[in-house]
Chains A and B, each alone.
Chain A
Amino acid sequence: MENRDRRKFLGVCLGGIASASIAAVAYPLFRYLSPIPEQENSGKVTFQESDIPEGEAKFFQYAGSAAVLIKNKEQGVIALSAVCTHLGCIVQWQKERGEFLCPCHAGRYTAQGLVISGPPPKPLQPLHVSIANGTITIG
């Protein structure tokens, strides 16, 4: 009887040590393989207002994903996420029609990001824009 208790105790110890060692290997491994956070600079992106031509779109990286900035007469400056709300393709700017077209499944959006036609379920996500003496700041 005593022998069996001893055996059980040693078994539990061994199990504990084994799981601790597995964890000691698995945790560093998991952290090593996890994506490294980008070194972010306050999360804001700035442009000179004069650098952006009328009616053109400017694509840029914002918070690790694609975004687009357009400037036109009627609405002024608009910044949107360029990620299509359907399955995540990047929309294209069609200057002649003043619309965004998603090349993947022909989703169409207005310059404000509202859905005109196609599969996208939601409008493009707008980003906060502020303009102060010739500098456009997004975020």
Chain B
Amino acid sequence: MSLYKNIDNWLDVRLGTHSLIEKELTGYLLPRNINAWYSLGSVLLFIFSLQIVTGILLLIYYVPDADKAFASVTMIMNRVPFGWLVRMCHVVGSNMMVLILLFHMLSVLFMGSYKSPRELNWLSGFILFNLVMAISLTGYLLPWSQLSYWATTVATNSVGAIPFIGSYLVEFLRGGKLVGPPTLGRFFALHVAVIPITIAAFVGIHLVLLQRIGVSTPPFGLKETKSNWRGDTFRYEEHPGGIPFFPNYLLQDMTSIMLYLALFFAVLFFDPYLFLPKDAFIPADPFLTPAHIKPEWYFLPNYQTLKLFPSEFLGLAVQGAAMTFLALLPFIDRGTEKHPLKRPLFMACSIGGILLWIGLAIWGHFS
């Protein structure tokens, strides 16, 4: 017996690796008509791991102190060998993570994968979406630049629109009346410890749920697109005659990750400052608000909504309602039809919603 066979056998006797591989990889069958959109989850997992690795690397040189943060980031960019690469990977990666996350959600919406019995998958995914927004927001402050400082000032300020407790809440979030060194401490702890752990936990939950219930059948390329789930007992959605996860679908996952990397490197090497306006290169100055301060692109619609409504509270309430609706979508949309073209009302609403979102973002950008 060769060495490889020996090791393989040794592990199998102790861990049952053969049956595990059979169950989770080669014997794990996916629907025949599964498409590339289903690999976005793997792409997101890959991006998240990359963010963790680059984040840990940045922690080596970053100093979470209001007096030193900006200088430490400058040092990472200018003096540490390849520091610019690590930092730009983290910055660009965070934006790309939000982008891919939006695509992942859209594919789930259009292919009806959120529907019963996958409400819990949708909810856990929705929570992940919010956590990603939160980790982006808290990370934004850390370089302690003018952009960081004022974007955080604006973002935390909007919480003040909540009646009665608003102003106290703002102060609580900031750790003081204004954004300052205590805010940096809080956001740093949230960004590097609290939120990442929570995201990891919810990714775990999200995957366990997927594993338990089985992959949903895409509605495309099928005559019958209705879900025949009845809702009386638990049933794992099997896909007899489907394609094995390994090697077939893993290859698709790898292909998508490679395509993603091509896009990622294109931004990283040809337009690294795409997501960094020039205020990101000026140290924070609490006495000087720069003109035209705007949040990141994915917060622009929220920002514009807040400006549109006469009272901040109304703007906040509308956003809260929209988010609640999105979270509860699988409980509201009880139909079993999954094909987007056979769901005209859904199509009209979702496309309208997306256009509204994009329109608000563009408006916010140019106003």
Give the interface of A toward B (CB within 8 A). 28-29, 31-34, 36
B75-83, B192-200, B246-254, B323-331 - the one binding chain A? B75-83
Interface flag for B1 (CB, 8 Å): no
In the complex, what distance in Å separates the CA atom of A32 from the CA atom of B62? 13
Q: How far is the CB of A22 from chain B (nearest CB, A)?
A: 14
B85 interface hit (Cβ, 8 Å): yes
Tell me the smallest distance from the CB of B307 to a CB of chain A, in Å. 42
Q: Which of B68-121 contact A (CB under 8 A)?
A: 79-83, 85-86
The answer to whether the Cβ of B60 comes within 8 Å of any Cβ in the partner chain is yes
Give 13 pairs: A residue, B residue, CB < 8 Å, sorted on A.
A28-B82, A28-B85, A29-B82, A31-B81, A31-B82, A32-B57, A32-B60, A32-B81, A32-B85, A33-B57, A34-B81, A36-B79, A36-B80
Chain B interface, DSSP helix/strand/loop, else mixed: helix
Q: Do residues A32 and B86 form an inter-chain contact, with CB atoms below 8 A?
A: yes
Complex contacts, B83 vs chain A, CB 8 Å: 32
A31 to B57: give the CA distance in the assembly, Å.
12
Nearest CB on B from A33, distance (A): 7
Q: B88 to chain A: closest CB distance in Å?
A: 12
Q: How far, in angstroms, from A33 to B61 measured CA to CA in the complex? A: 10
Contact with A along B38-79 (1 / 0, CB 8 A): 000000000000000000010010000000000000000001
B residues within 8 A CB of A31?
81-82
Task: Compute how far the CA of A34 lies from the CA of B79 in the bound complex, rounded to whole angstroms.
Answer: 12
Count of A-B residue pairs with CB < 8 Å: 22
Q: List, in ascending order, chain B residues with CB within 8 A of A36's CB.
A: 79-81
Which residues does chain B contribute within 8 Å of A34, judged by CB atoms?
81
B81 contact set on A, CB distance < 8 A: 28, 31-32, 34, 36
A28 to B88, CA, bound (A): 13
Question: Nearest chain-A residue to B58 (Cβ)?
Answer: A32
Tell me the complex Cα distance, A48–B57, Å.
43
Shortest CB distance A36–B (Å): 6
Task: Determine the distance from Cα of A68 to Cα of B263 in the docked complex, in whole angstroms.
Answer: 56
Which residues on the B side are within 8 Å of A32 (C-beta)? 57, 60, 80-83, 85-86
New contact pairs (11) apart from A28-B82, A36-B81, CB-CB < 8 Å = A28-B85, A28-B86, A29-B82, A32-B80, A32-B81, A32-B83, A32-B85, A32-B86, A33-B57, A33-B60, A34-B81
Q: Name the A residues within 8 Å of B85 (CB-CB).
A: 28, 32
What residues on A are CB-neighbors of B82 within 8 Å? 28-29, 31-32
Contacts of A28 in B (CB 8 A): 81-82, 85-86
How far is A32 from B86 in the complex, measured between Cα atoms in Å?
Answer: 8
User: Residue on A with the closest CB to B89?
Assistant: A28
CA distance A14 to B81 in the complex (A): 29
In the complex, residue of chain A having the shortest beta-carbon distance to the beta carbon of B86: A32
Give every chain A residue within 8 A of B86 (Cβ-Cβ).
Answer: 28, 32
Task: Please give me the 3 A-B residue pairs with the lowest Cβ-Cβ distance, nearest first.
Answer: A28-B82, A31-B81, A32-B82
Contact bitstring B262-299, A, C-beta under 8 A = 1, else 0: 00000000000000000000000000000000000000
Chain B residue with Cβ nearest A33: B60
Question: Once bound together, how far apart are the Cα atoms of A29 and B81, in whole Å?
Answer: 9
Nearest A-chain residue to B82, judged by Cβ: A28
Interchain nearest-CB distance for A28 vs B (Å): 4
Query: Which residues of chain B (176-230) have a CB below 8 Å from chain A?
Result: none
Tell me which residues across on chain A come within 8 A of B60, comparing CB atoms: 32-33
A28–B89 Cα gap in the complex (Å)? Answer: 12
Nearest CB on A from B54, distance (A)? 10
Of chain A, the residue at the smallest CB distance from B85 is: A28
Shortest distance in angstroms between B265's beta carbon and chain A's nearest beta carbon?
A: 11
- Report the Cα distance A31→B79, complex, angstroms: 11
Minimum Cβ distance to chain B for residue A70 (Å): 36
Given the complex, which residues of A lie within 8 Å of B80, measured CB to CB? 32, 36
Q: Which residues of B sit under 8 angstroms from A33, Cβ to Cβ?
A: 57, 60
Name the distance in Å between B139's Cβ and chain A's nearest Cβ.
19
Given the complex of chains A and B, what is the CA–CA distance between A36 and B83 in angstroms? 11
Which residue of chain B is the closest to A27 with respect to CB atoms? Answer: B82
Q: Find the residue from A29, A32, A34, A36 having the highest chain B CB count within 10 A.
A: A32
Interchain nearest-CB distance for A73 vs B (Å): 46
